[in-house]
Structure 1
Amino acid sequence: MTALSAPRKIVKLAGVRRFPVPVTAGVTILQSALVMLDDGFARPARAGQGADDAAKAADALTHVSVGIALETVTGGAANGDVVVEVERDCFGFANSSAGDLITRADIGKSAFIVDDQTVAKTSANATRARAGVIEDVTSEAVWVSIGKANFA
Structure 2
Amino acid sequence: MAANNSFYHLTAKTPKGDTIAMGDFKDKVVLIVNTATKCGLSSQFEGLEALHQKYRDKGLIVLSFPCNQFGNQEPETNDTLEKACQINYGVTFQLTEKCDVNGSDTHPVFKYLKKELGGLLGSKIKWNFTKFLIDKNGKPYKRFSPITKPDAIEKHINKLL
Please indicate the TM-score interval, normalised by the length of the shorter structure.
under 0.3
With normalisation by structure 2, the TM-score equals: 0.23
Larger radius of gyration: 1
Higher helix content, 1 or 2: 2
With normalisation by structure 1, the TM-score equals: 0.24
Higher relative contact order (CA 8 A, sep 6+): 2
